[in-house]
Chain A
Amino acid sequence: MSPRYRSFAALLALALALVPAVPPVAAQQLAPNRISSTGDSITEAIDAELPLANHWASWAGGYSNFWTRLFGLADVRSHNQRIDFFINPGGRANFIEAKSGADSFDFPGQALQAVDHAAAYVTVFMGHNDVCQNDFADIPTDAEFEANMRAGLESLRTGLPVGATVYVVSIVDIYKLWELGDELTALGLLDCELLWSLTLLELFPCGTMLSPLNSEEDRQFTRGRNIAFNEILSALVDEYSQADPEHYYFYTGSIFDTEFVADDISWIDCFHPSPRGQKKLSHKTWNVGPFADF
């Protein structure tokens, strides 16, 4: 490079250094007309009202229509319904990607489905089955959990339409659910411990919290993992929120802190949220969520 050219390059570099950095322009947030809810059995509303999946009663994708009203089924005022009521955007679509039994290892796959559905609003309520395992040896490490969730978020970042919103909800405090079942048993209302004894045969989920063989130390260990995973979710959302100007990321820890009462858990399995519990999930998450002000 000639001395003259070197001088020009140096001047140009200096000039560029002096120009104030232009922050990336945030994309316009899309109306949440296409909602995709990722997660596990809670988002599928397993055992909420009737045995197995009760999608109409899902906190995120729940719905009310002619048939649910005819049969008198629960109306949980889900995010999907609130979008209709408060925002009423055109081109509505509602996809429940959640699957019973899904854990963080399944999140990347569900995220890809949300991308395929060109979702404008993705809810993420995942991690219960990471905390809830048959054995303590199966609870993922922080690194594994983070890698799984990051992989899913990365798919959303690269695949969702510009302006889409990702809303990550903290894992429920599963210790409190155990307390509720324990209370129902102690009060003579329902023998939850009988149901939970099926964890010993791996016929019922969440042996790491509900197994009758667990000590208090075991339950508190599991709760510790619950808290650690929520911290990872919060940190990931912070990171993506700062690094990705094209999408909107939100996190709420409010669900971990939520107090549930006996009527909030399913009387079918003493564990999953009842319609009242689903309604509470929807109410709490919506009110601190990305569209609360609409």
Chain B
Amino acid sequence: MSPSCALSTTLGASLLIVVGAVVAAGQEPARQVVATIDGRAIHLDEVEPRLGLEAYRLQADLHRLLERGVRELVDDRLLAREADRRGVTVEEFLVAEVDAHLAQVGDAEVDAYLAARDRSGDGPEVRTRVRSYLEERARIARRLEVLAELRSGVDLELLVEPPAPPRVAIDLAGLPRRGADQPDVSVVHFAGFRCPRCAESARWLEALVDEHPERVAWFHHSALSRVDDLALSAAELAAEAQAAGRFWPVHDRLMAYEGRLTTDDLGLLAADAGLAEVATPEALAGVVASRRADLGRELAEAERLGVSQAPVVFVNGRYFHPSFGREALEELVADELARTAPAASVASPAGDGGRSESETESETFDPPAAAGREESHVPEIP
């Protein structure tokens, strides 16, 4: 077996193990070795951050399938056991316990259903559908009730744990930064300038950085659309601004459009920012055309990290989707602030001694490898 094949086999096996593992309370899981180089171990928790969210998603899929399979098997066994206890088949048991308990759905119930939806005037075909729905729903409800009764009579414990969200490694080299020079919490905003939701999450981040100027840093990472030339032009204008040391003022003005940018706006912005070389649409288009080859690479990197649609935020490598709301983001940042004492030795992504935004960052946010698996950090749904 080749080393790469051995690694993938071990990784595959480890995914299964993680999904099915029974985690004993208070017991620190041992670090799993997935390969060795001249006898020196490479651990799973060193590899996982490089996989972005891919492994997490696969683990989650496996977990879902496993959990569903377990539940179905449990139900089948409980039904068979109860039917056996009564000396009947499962079908006979269900007829006795489900079908025999169902009452006929009357006109009054159909009337009530339609009245509640302001559809009392609907024709007979709709009444037939509603009756069928109410009857079948009652049958399903009774069946679920029977299963719940069977489950309640046994000592049933589901030992399948959902996977823990990972911390992914993000290359921060060259990304414009705002806020703390040596942050405890690094927030990476994958965003574009033609996306209203990006403008909204940018406002949240601005408030966070203002609130914790010494501890939180905000990095901007372009999240581009394959076919949106205007978004690409805006990203290139921002890149030109970064090279000239004027990224954030241009960023803020671009975001202020809330996604409703035009080509003329870009020209105006470029002129205002003193970026005369890209102040005409033709000049900007030329820059964009020369950049198109890089686009695929950047998109692949974003997808590897789990960024399918902008905006996405990573807080110290922890994925956050703004659909969960501002409050959930604030909780996540607060959690990281609490976890990392000021000036703690947790891998500091910036640590650049106060360089200006125009200088190239060379660090990568690498989560502490030996920290073991994090507890579940699923953001709470607001």
A221 with B126: CB separation less than 8 A: no
Of B56-64, B78-86, B89-97, which stretch is located at the interface?
A: B56-64
- Given the known A-B contacts A137-B117, A224-B140, are A263 and B57 also in contact in the complex, defined by CB atoms under 8 Å? yes
Instruction: List residues of chain A with CB within 8 A of the CB of B226.
Output: 49-50, 71-73
B227 with A137: CB separation less than 8 A: no
Q: Determine the distance from Cα of A183 to Cα of B62 in the docked complex, in whole angstroms.
A: 11
Residue A146, interface by CB 8 Å: no
- Given the known A-B contacts A186-B162, A190-B323, are A135 and B57 also in contact in the complex, defined by CB atoms under 8 Å? no
Closest to B307 in A: A267
- Given the known A-B contacts A261-B61, A263-B57, are A191 and B378 also in contact in the complex, defined by CB atoms under 8 Å? no
**Interface size in chain A (residues, C-beta < 8 A):** 39
| Secondary structure call for the B interface | helix
Instruction: List residues of chain A with CB within 8 A of the CB of B60.
Output: 183, 187, 262
- Given the known A-B contacts A144-B125, A188-B324, A267-B309, are A137 and B61 also in contact in the complex, defined by CB atoms under 8 Å? no
A187 with B378: CB separation less than 8 A: yes
Residue A11, interface by CB 8 Å: no
B381 with A185: CB separation less than 8 A: yes
Choose from B128, B308, B323, B377 the contact partner of A194 (Cβ within 8 Å): B323
CB distance from A217 to the nearest CB of B (A): 5
Residue A293, interface by CB 8 Å: no
Most buried by A among B128, B306, B308: B308
Residue B119, interface by CB 8 Å: yes
**Interface size in chain B (residues, C-beta < 8 A):** 48
B-side interface residues toward A, CB under 8 Å? 53, 56-58, 60-61, 64-65, 68, 113-114, 117, 119, 122, 125-126, 128-130, 132-133, 136-137, 140-141, 144, 162-163, 165, 225-227, 295-296, 299, 306, 308-309, 319-321, 323-325, 377-379, 381
Extra A-B contacts (16), CB below 8 Å, given A194-B324, A217-B144: A50-B225, A50-B226, A71-B227, A72-B296, A72-B299, A73-B227, A136-B130, A137-B119, A137-B122, A141-B128, A183-B64, A186-B378, A188-B321, A191-B381, A217-B137, A224-B136
Q: What are 14 A-to-B residue pairs whose CB atoms are below 8 Å?
A: A72-B296, A73-B227, A136-B129, A137-B133, A138-B129, A188-B165, A188-B320, A189-B306, A191-B321, A195-B323, A215-B141, A221-B136, A261-B57, A262-B60
